[in-house]
Amino acid sequence: MVNSIYETVRLHNGVEMQKFGLGVYLIKERAEVKNTVKTALELGYRSIDTAAYYDNEDDVGQAIRESGIPREDIFVTTKVWNGDQGYEETLAAFEKSRNELGLDYIDLYLIHWPVQGKYLDTWRAMEKLYQEGKVRAIGVSNFQIHHLQDLIANSKEKPVVNQVELHPLLSQEPLRAFCKEHEIAVEAWSPLGRARFLDEPTITTLAEKYKKTAAQIILRWHLQNDVIIIPKSVTPSRIKENSEIFDFELSQEDMNTINQLNQNKRFGPDPDHVDF
Ligand code: NDP
């Protein structure tokens, strides 16, 4: 039973990462980024997911510093963007991200997308950053099973996390099973499907049953599936709502009901058919 916002998963390299955090994609306006991160930290969020691509690392870093919360209590993820992939390019992109964030180290550094012909060289740079202690853990995002197989077969370090699009309409069961077998934690992006199906009758019926909101039902479903979540909201009431999911438990029957909503439906790009 996941019963605290502070609960962590032990990644395969021993680092602890919060199972619940805040995503900050599509928040660019400086004051909004800072207010959002500060609100979340005040409510107990301790993990923040950003990326060089989101163009808000500087304000995320500033909000963290101004919060007064000890650095070691906060878990910061950022990602190397597609155009920066390759060995030297990744090392340079990392330094830029670290400067923007204004942090000595990054907790988790991810390859944002599996750029064909580049991601193995990118990974070698990530391994170097890890060995030098500049990042506490390295992982990937948007990797399919075949990308992971290729990476594992051709590198020293195995990724600790794979962050992928994952929600009730895209439950990613085969990928989750593969990751479990290889001790790779799965993290959901768009865990709420960007609120596109919060009125889905199966979900709203469960919301009534548990006296929770549709968003809370979906987020709880993720946690009970051992999936790390980083819902994004700039709305203080929703930032709070999304964090109030540690005081109830979905029955196995209701978990199965939500599992059955899967349609393998992607709203974002298919990692095998992205024009990098
Ligand atoms: P989410 O599934 O987190 O949904 C965010 C949207 O849902 C926003 O429009 C937000 O509105 C709305 N929302 C949030 N909470 C509620 C609620 N309780 N009730 C109703 N509406 C709600 O989508 P994201 O795509 O942002 O995914 C989360 C994070 O994942 C990103 O912020 C980013 O950090 C990461 N990500 C990673 C990707 C990758 O390629 N690795 C790709 C995409 C995302 P509002 O803000 O207006 O309140």
pTM for the structure as a whole? 0.98
The tens digit of pLDDT for each residue in 39-60 reads 999 999 999 999 999 999 999 9
The tens digit of pLDDT for each residue in 257-268 reads 999 999 999 999
Handedness of CA 209, 193, 242, 187 (dihedral sign): positive
Q: How far, in Å, from the CA of 190 to the mean position of ligand 1?
A: 5
Which atom from ligand 1 is nearest to the alpha carbon of 189? 30
CA nearest neighbour of 214 among 200, 225, 227, 193:
200
Select from 50, 189, 267 the residue to mutate for testing ligand 1; criterion: most ligand atoms less than 8 Å from CB: 189
The tens digit of pLDDT for each residue in 118-146 reads 999 999 999 999 999 999 999 999 999 99
Instruction: State the average pLDDT over residues 197-206.
Output: 98
pLDDT band at 212 (very low <50, low <70, confident <90, very high): very high
Residue 77 pLDDT > 80: yes
DSSP string, 90-132: HHHHHHHHHHHHT-S-EEEEEESS--TTTHHHHHHHHHHHHHT
The tens digit of pLDDT for each residue in 60-69 reads 999 999 999 9
Q: What is the pLDDT of residue 276?
A: 77
The set of catalytic residues is 54
Give me the residue spans of the domains in the chain. 8-195+227-233
pLDDT band at 29 (very low <50, low <70, confident <90, very high): very high
The tens digit of pLDDT for each residue in 183-195 reads 999 999 999 999 9
Q: How far, in Å, from the CA of 24 to the mean position of ligand 1?
A: 8
Measured distance CA(146)–CA(152) in Å, rounded: 10
Instruction: Record the tokens describing residue 207, joined without a space.
Output: 């919301």
CA nearest neighbour of 145 among 169, 178, 108:
178
Task: Give residue ranges with CB within 6 A of ligand 1.
Answer: 23-25, 49, 112, 141-142, 163, 189-195, 198, 215, 230-235, 238, 241-242, 268
8-195+227-233 CATH pick, 3.40.47.10, 2.60.40.10, 3.40.1410.10, 3.20.20.100: 3.20.20.100
Which atom from ligand 1 is nearest to the alpha carbon of 233? 46
- Whole-angstrom CA distances from 54 to 42, 129, 190, 248 are 23, 21, 15, 33
CA nearest neighbour of 164 among 181, 182, 147:
147
Q: Is 133 exposed, middle or buried (0-12, 13-18, 19+ CB in 10 A)?
A: exposed
What is the Cα gyration radius of the chain?
A: 18
Q: How far, in Å, from the CA of 89 to the mean position of ligand 1?
A: 29
pLDDT band at 229 (very low <50, low <70, confident <90, very high): very high
Which atom from ligand 1 is nearest to the alpha carbon of 51? 34
